[in-house]
Amino acid sequence: MPYSQRPTLTQFLIEERRKHPEARGQLNALILDVANACKAIAKVVARGELAHPVGSRHSSATVNVQGEVQKPLDVISNEVFIQTTEWGGNLAGLASEEMETSYPVPGKYPRGDYLLVFDPLDGSSNIDVNVSVGSIFSILRAPETIDETINDQDFLQTGRNQVAAGYAIYGPTTMLVLTVGTGVHGFTLDSDLGEFKLTHQFIKVAEDTQEFAINASNSRFWEAPIKRYVDECLAGTAGPRGQDFNMRWVASMVAEAHRILMRGGVFMYPRDNKDPSKPGRLRLLYEASPIAMIMEQAGGRASTGNVAIQDVQPTELHQRIALIFGSKNEVERIERYHQERNYDDEIESSPLFAARGLFRD
Ligand code: F6P
Ligand code: MN
Per-residue pLDDT reduced to its tens digit, 202-241: 999 999 999 999 999 999 999 999 999 999 999 999 999 9
Mean pLDDT of the chain: 92
Note the pLDDT of residue 359.
46
Q: Does residue 123's CB lie within 6 angstroms of at least one atom of ligand 1?
A: yes
Taking only the tens place, the pLDDT of each residue in 32-59 is 999 999 999 999 999 998 876 666 555 4
Q: Give the chain's length.
A: 361
Residue spans per domain, the chain? 3-200, 211-349
3-state secondary structure of 94: strand
Q: Please give the average per-residue pLDDT across 259-273, as a whole number.
A: 97
Give the pLDDT band (50/70/90) at residue 78. Answer: very high
Best residue among 212, 215, 217 to mutate for probing ligand 1's pocket (most ligand atoms within 8 Å of CB) is: 215
Our CA dihedral for 139, 157, 112, 83, rounded to 10 degrees, sits at -50
Closest CA to 162 of 197, 185, 136, 135: 136
Instruction: Say if ligand 1 is within 6 A of residue 122 CB.
Output: yes
- Distance from Cα 74 to the centre of ligand 2, integer Å: 10
Provide DSSP, 291-346. Answer: HHHHHHHTT-EEE-SSSBGGG----STT-EE-EEEESHHHHHHHHHHHHHHHHHHH
pLDDT tops 70 at residue 80: yes
- 302: Cα within 13 Å, side-chain hemisphere: 28
Position 359, amino acid:
F
**Which fold is adopted by the domain 3-200?**
Fructose-1,6-Bisphosphatase; Chain A, domain 1 (3.30.540)
Query: Atom of ligand 1 at shortest distance to CA of 119?
Result: 1
pLDDT at site 55 = 60
Q: What does the pLDDT read at residue 145?
A: 79
Percent share of the chain, pLDDT over 70: 89
Q: How far does the centroid of ligand 2 lie from the alpha carbon of residue 76, in Å?
A: 15
Is the CB of residue 278 below 6 angstroms from any atom belonging to ligand 1?
Answer: no
Q: Are 94 and 116 in contact (CB under 8 A)?
A: yes
- At residue 49, the pLDDT reads 85
Closest ligand (CA of 285): 2
More confident residue, 52 or 338: 338
pLDDT digits (tens, 9 = 90+) for 148-194: 889 999 999 999 999 999 999 999 999 999 999 999 999 999 999 99
Chain segment 67-76, per-residue pLDDT in tens:
655 458 999 9
Residue 86: the pLDDT is: 98
Percent of the chain with pLDDT over 90: 81
Pick the ligand that lies closest to the CA of residue 135: 2
Residue 223: which of 305, 278, 142 has the closest Cα? 305
Given the candidates 3.40.190.80, 3.30.470.20, 3.40.640.10, 3.40.50.2000, the CATH classification of the domain at 211-349 is 3.40.190.80
pLDDT range class, residue 351, cuts 50, 70, 90: low
- Does residue 360 register a pLDDT over 60? no
Q: What's the farthest any 2 CA atoms get from each other in the chain? A: 75
